[in-house]
Structure 1
Amino acid sequence: MQMRKIFLVLVLTVVALVGSGVRAEDAEKPWSVDLNVAFMSDYMFRGQNLYDGASIQPYIGAGYDTGYGTIGAYNWSHISADGSANVEEFFEMDWGLTYELALDPVTVTVGNLWYTYPNDNDDIEDTTESFISLALDDSSYNDFYTINPKFTASKDWDVFDYYYYELNFSHTYEGGVLGDGVSMTPYVTFGFTSDGEKVYEDDGLVQVSEGISVTMPLGNMTVSPSINYTHKVDDLTVDQFWFGVTLGYSL
């Protein structure tokens, strides 16, 4: 628990210091760094509530544009905060490597993820997952109402040995009555699985989630509150209203 608190303090300190610093130069650069921390009411993942209580989720990611695609790496964590009496706290730290290639109007991303649970007992096992995603920029041919379709296929190669597929649609409103620099994005996500008997009751559609987020500038940082709802489709998913706010900074 002490290590978790130290880790959290370090992450928040970095975000605060960077956010209060000088804005990065506007010149084109091949690299990027993103820092953010989310404070969520629950830890929701693919239709399941993995932690029924407040979840603190720091993230740091970096990317480098090689001219032939962007190579990226990131670290994401879940830190259990206040939860219900029947839920055991745990600490999760995930690592990811990605490669992204823009083939207008489609962006292809492939990657590998490592889900790890340091300092927790053997009841939670580390696992590994690979994925590919296809994101379509439909603004190139749709002037009326873009829905930015994105399809992701993931395969757990280790503990759960299952496939998970996700289809996401979203639309971003910017400026206007929202104000300068403010954007609002409603979304809907459909989650499917196959060979998922270790995670879900049945194969096929297992969850539907929808929500809306608003991103606002705060000095050199951004603040993004969100509200979301997940619909129970499978017996092992849940009906859940969840919400949170994310503080972010990009170099």
Structure 2
Amino acid sequence: MKKSIVMMTVAVASAVSVQAADVSAYVDFASAYVFRGVTLNNGLVMQPGLEASGFAVPEEYGSVAVGIWGNYDINNIRDNTGKETGDFSRIDYYVSYSLPVDAMDVSVGYIEYTYPNGGTSDKELNLTLGSALGTNGLYASFGINYGVGGEIDDTWYIQPALSYETDISDALFASAGVSVGYVVDGDTTGFNDATASLGLDYALNDNWSVSAGLTYIAQLDEAVLNDDDYDVAVVGTVGVGCDF
């Protein structure tokens, strides 16, 4: 499985680099794997990704980006089912389209969550609205995600967020952010989780950068995000990325 994923990623990178103006590749190592408040692995994981954007689309028509992201379980501590560690537990494929709107940032997208170890893939549509708040580095966004297939079918996940970015030096950048997640899933409706994060990015040169981050995840309503799913409250990450 690991070899096939690597070969597929290399093939995607080779194909898109010819047609796209911007390609970014990155890999993060995280102390746990938490998705929308749910702890899927409270052990060490590796999370690589690849995104291509800047395709030959006239600027007046907006822009398109495609990407792939995966979670690789290095230590699968939470799973007591006997499943071997050292496998990709999830691989996402996504495409997004940024609309040519001047008043704010508007993007629509589609993402498919696949599970190489078994299970039906989940499919989701998303809409994100965002805007800078002045010129001081503050940015507000509002994301709407709607499941159109798999176990998340007809499920809404709504996430307003506020972030801040600043330059510490020519090469060092700091960021902070907060978000709240609201779930609508049949009879289960309410505030799910909240996050607060801090991050640092250091540019090694024009292409390569390293990063570190810390995220706190809060359980807002145990009737929505139950105690069995909420396990890890703090996740630390380190990563390296390349733009080419």
Q: Name the CA distance, whole Å, in 2 between partners of 1:128 and 1:187.
A: 27
Q: Name the CA distance, whole Å, in 2 between partners of 1:77 and 1:137.
A: 30
Q: Name the CA distance, whole Å, in 2 between partners of 1:86 and 1:228.
A: 22
Distance 1:248 1:196, change over 3 A: farther
Size of the aligned set, in residue pairs, is 221
Aligned residue type for 2:45: S
Aligned residue type for 2:58: T
Aligned residue type for 1:171: Y
Q: Which residue of 1 aligns with 2:138?
A: 147
Contact 1:230 1:240 in 2 (8 A): yes
Runs of 5+ unmatched residues, structure 2: 14-18
Taking structure 1 as the reference length, the TM-score comes to 0.79
Runs of 4+ residues deviating >6 angstroms: 9-12
**Residue 208 (1) aligns with residue 194 (2):** yes
Q: Name the CA distance, whole Å, in 1 between partners of 2:65 and 2:158.
A: 22
Displacement, 1:102?
A: 4.1
Taking structure 2 as the reference length, the TM-score comes to 0.82
Q: Name the CA distance, whole Å, in 1 between partners of 2:235 and 2:186.
A: 25
Q: Name the CA distance, whole Å, in 1 between partners of 2:91 and 2:144.
A: 22
Contact 1:224 1:245 in 2 (8 A): yes
Q: Name the CA distance, whole Å, in 2 between partners of 1:196 and 1:245.
A: 37
Q: Which residue of 2 aligns with 1:227?
A: 214
Distance 1:181 1:196, change over 3 A: farther
Displacement, 1:138?
A: 2.0
Q: Which residue of 2 aligns with 1:138?
A: 133
Aligned residue type for 1:91: S
Find the residue that maps to 1:82 and give its secondary structure: coil
Find the residue that maps to 2:149 and give its secondary structure: coil
Q: Name the CA distance, whole Å, in 2 between partners of 1:85 and 1:157.
A: 28
Q: Name the CA distance, whole Å, in 2 between partners of 1:204 and 1:158.
A: 21
Displacement, 1:127?
A: 1.2
Give the root-mean-square deviation of aligned CA atoms: 2.5
Contact 2:123 2:149 in 1 (8 A): yes
Where in structure 2 are the equivalents of 1:69-218 lying within 5 Å?
69-84=62-77, 86-87=79-80, 88=83, 89=85, 91-118=89-116, 120-121=117-118, 124-139=119-134, 143=135, 145-159=136-150, 160-161=152-153, 162-175=155-168, 179-195=169-185, 202-218=188-204
Contact 2:25 2:50 in 1 (8 A): yes
Contact 1:154 1:165 in 2 (8 A): yes
